[in-house]
Structure 1
Amino acid sequence: MELKKIIESKSFSFDYDRYARNLDFPTSLVVYLETVFSPNLNRVIQKNLPTIEKIYADAGKTFVYLPALLLEMTDLLPYFKPLAVIDETVTSQNITPIVTTKLFAELNISTDCQGGMLLTRTGNGNTMTLTPLMVKGFTMKAFLIEHASLSKIWDNRKYSTVLTDDRWPDMDDTPSKDPELHFNEDIARIVSEIDERIRYLKEKGLFHLLSETIAPMLLPQLSRLHITDDYRIFLPDYRNMEIKMNPLSKTVYFLFLCNPWGISLNSLSYYHCELTEIYRLVSGRSNLDDMAESIRRLADPSDNSIYEKCSRIKRAFLQDLSDDIAKNYYVFGEINEPKRISLSRSLVEIPDALKNISNDQRITRQNMDIISALIKGIPNI
């Protein structure tokens, strides 16, 4: 009997919408599964993994070998689950049987199925197909080539193209005079390497199942933000993670941190004195003559400086946190809206010296507003 007919006769299918709708399982995946670790099969797969991946890539599929993803997932878990405790009992030898057992329970498949298997989503995406991996009388390579051909789908986009689907549109190189547009353009250009790695794993599928296997789900929780007396930035509830910035970026960050209601970029000139005093604290310098121009540029929304600092602030948090978490800590705001840090100030711990600067400058601005209003009310003589 020809190999194609043998594979078809030994495979069985079931309805995706009925059994697997809640699974993170794109149509492009072919996942190697086993209920019990097979040393021989795993040795062959590990030795020939690049070849196997290419066989399926040529058919528009992505071959997923879970032990190869374990190290990547373990490395990235602290990034999107800062409070997670990694289960060290999950190893490259048992990760596939553990995930297989969970999948079979979800799909209502008997765990009596033994040996290596390939699970794929076939046809128009409404069918899941499970195929025993080995057939006597044929080489594994011949088997995989035929299986890849059978499981080929209409949409043959490879994963590498999926990654580029959400690229930011090209921006006009001409500097914009609109501070709102400039702010959003600079923020949009920041793409974290770690975010790309997480997107890669998510496109591989079974992302949540894998993360739950390696580290049980914890309720989302934001860390406190602690500013030390020497103006270092820590997230104490995320293993005392330090967020590092240069003095000028810290100055901008502390300005927004001390003004929780937000700041319109067009009104930055009103905060020149506050920026100066914050920088004096952060730098530990009393003579700021050589920094006067840098501080002036920070308070000028028509200058690039404020946008660069906001971009660096965002990048500093994205180095260690996923955007879902980091967005609570960096400076952000919709177009034509004040820019602010959304983190609840009940989670913020800052030195009194910073608080006092903000309070003093706010009173000064309020007094200036009152004087300005009074002057406008005096009739011309």
Structure 2
Amino acid sequence: MQNQSNLIIENNVLNWEYKFGIKFSMPSNCIIYFEKENNIALNKYIRSNYDELRDKFSKHNFNLIFAPLLTNTINDLDKVVEYFLPQLTYYEIPQKVKNQYGELMFAKGLNKGIDDFGAVFPEEEFTPSSYNYSDILKLIDYKGNFNSGFILYNNVVGVSDAFYEKNSEIDFSSFFKEFEDYLAEISNLEYDAMIANIPPIVDLTEKLDEEAAQIVNDLKEKLAALTDSGQLLFIVPILKDLLDKQTEKIDFKSISKITIDKQNKILLPYFKKEVELSHLTKSVYFLFLKHPEGINLKELENFKKELLTIYISVSNQLDHDKMVKSIDDVVNLETKAIYTHLSRIKSAFYKIMDASHASHYIISGNGEENRKVLFNTNAIDWYVYDPIDDYEL
């Protein structure tokens, strides 16, 4: 425990391990106010100066979260949860989270409305209503001794006894000034460490198409908004409670098997998802699924016969010459058509799940080198494709 004139800092008293997906871990820039006992004076000060404090902290890239003032919600919360944790779809957990979260936010909004009567009819003895932080403290397994304080990613900041002794009127200005200085100090240290450890960015597959990129960006923005607003703090305990009831059923390290049905639909039953592709792009994907060892694109011409066979079995086209021309374009690297199809495959998966899950299914690789699907193709339930090896071009 470190002591400064106005601050007390506890280290190693938090456990942020949620055990169900890194995408739902609280980021390092959050500062969360909490209390075990109602600290009326500190509560009043934060309420009265909330916007100013948020602005000051944000200059050092920190986001102040004060639970009593959080009442917003988003309509497609279930889509956000489903996208980043697709394993939960099978158990209808995203929708359950949305329903319980909506009920919680409604109750909070109602309480806040009642509490705000004090602003309309001010009374000398008016005090802000208390808030139950037990779910948050239980979630992060707080092991410190503070009755109230501010949770950062790796420590907790509290108000020192020395501060209370010096401030009989309980003006927290000097406390927050020192708090801000402390944030500036650790912000600079963390930024230097981050710059020193940034790995090079390598895009192993083709870029997403415009529609997929928009979907991905939209969902990432919604998750960021949930995090920045502090609403993630309310979602995670609900999510954890629901998952605790399904502990034996859900394996968060697992991925869905692939089922290809008689209509050539690509299904991920564990995620309750269908991967939608055009007939030609689907045929390219099937070719790579048939070759788990990988295919060097420079040798794609050698797979022309097999790819045409697959395309005939998948497509509903009747124009044979047109189909042959399409396959010729795909296997000819000069047309760059193959890269378009690889991009479309990547986009199709990225539209329905986060990259951490999609990476198992897309055709990975770079340039003209060996391309392959990382998924264990022996786990595919394939009901339709039966190659016609003696088909003559």
TM-score range, shorter chain: 0.5 to 0.7
Structure 2: gaps (5+ residues): 18-24, 109-130
SS of residue paired to 1:325: helix
| Alignment of structure 1 residues 37-52 onto 2, 5 Å | 52=53
The alpha carbon displacement at 1:313 in A equals 0.8
The alpha carbon displacement at 1:266 in A equals 1.4
Q: Classify 1:323/1:68 alpha carbon distance in 2 versus 1 (closer, same or farther; 3 Å).
A: farther
The alignment's TM-score, normalised by the length of structure 1, stands at: 0.65
Is the 8 Å Cα contact of residues 118 and 131 (structure 1) preserved in structure 2? no
RMSD: 4.9
Counterpart for residue 373 of structure 1: none
Q: Does residue 226 of the first structure (1) align with residue 281 of the second (2)?
A: no
| Total equivalences in the alignment | 325
The alpha carbon displacement at 1:298 in A equals 0.9
Partners of 2:320 and 2:47 lie apart in 1 by: 60
Is the 8 Å Cα contact of residues 6 and 175 (structure 2) preserved in structure 1? no
SS of residue paired to 1:245: coil
The counterpart of 2:376, out of the listed 341, 344, 362, is: 344
The alpha carbon displacement at 1:211 in A equals 4.1
| Alignment of structure 1 residues 65-76 onto 2, 5 Å | 75-76=79-80
- The amino acid of 2:266's aligned partner reads I
Is the 8 Å Cα contact of residues 61 and 187 (structure 2) preserved in structure 1? yes
Q: Does residue 109 of the first structure (1) align with residue 145 of the second (2)?
A: yes
The alpha carbon displacement at 1:256 in A equals 1.0
Deviations 1:146-178, CA, capped at 9 Å, x for gaps = 64344322534999xx89x67848xxxxxxxxx
Q: Classify 1:295/1:319 alpha carbon distance in 2 versus 1 (closer, same or farther; 3 Å).
A: same
Q: Does residue 316 of the first structure (1) align with residue 348 of the second (2)?
A: yes
| Alignment of structure 1 residues 1-381 onto 2, 5 Å | 11-16=7-12, 19-20=13-14, 28-35=29-36, 52-64=53-65, 75-84=79-88, 85=93, 86-87=96-97, 89=100, 91-92=104-105, 93=108, 96-103=133-140, 105-109=141-145, 113=147, 117-120=149-152, 128-131=156-159, 147-156=179-188, 168=201, 184=204, 186=206, 192-193=216-217, 194=219, 211=236, 214-215=239-240, 216=243, 218-220=250-252, 221-238=254-271, 240-333=272-365, 338-352=370-384, 354=385, 356-357=386-387, 360-361=388-389
The alignment's TM-score, normalised by the length of structure 2, stands at: 0.63
Counterpart for residue 121 of structure 2: none
Q: Classify 1:31/1:208 alpha carbon distance in 2 versus 1 (closer, same or farther; 3 Å).
A: closer
Partners of 1:44 and 1:75 lie apart in 2 by: 37
Is the 8 Å Cα contact of residues 13 and 129 (structure 1) preserved in structure 2? yes
Identity among equivalent pairs (%): 18
Partners of 1:241 and 1:36 lie apart in 2 by: 46
Partners of 2:173 and 2:78 lie apart in 1 by: 30
The alpha carbon displacement at 1:323 in A equals 2.2
- The amino acid of 1:327's aligned partner reads S
Q: Classify 1:108/1:142 alpha carbon distance in 2 versus 1 (closer, same or farther; 3 Å).
A: closer
Partners of 2:49 and 2:317 lie apart in 1 by: 61
Is the 8 Å Cα contact of residues 57 and 180 (structure 2) preserved in structure 1? yes
Is the 8 Å Cα contact of residues 79 and 322 (structure 1) preserved in structure 2? yes
Is the 8 Å Cα contact of residues 195 and 322 (structure 1) preserved in structure 2? no
The alpha carbon displacement at 1:204 in A equals 10
Q: Classify 1:97/1:331 alpha carbon distance in 2 versus 1 (closer, same or farther; 3 Å).
A: same
Q: Classify 1:282/1:270 alpha carbon distance in 2 versus 1 (closer, same or farther; 3 Å).
A: same
Higher relative contact order (Cα pairs below 8 Å, separated by 6+ residues):
2
Q: Classify 1:166/1:315 alpha carbon distance in 2 versus 1 (closer, same or farther; 3 Å).
A: farther
Partners of 1:351 and 1:340 lie apart in 2 by: 22
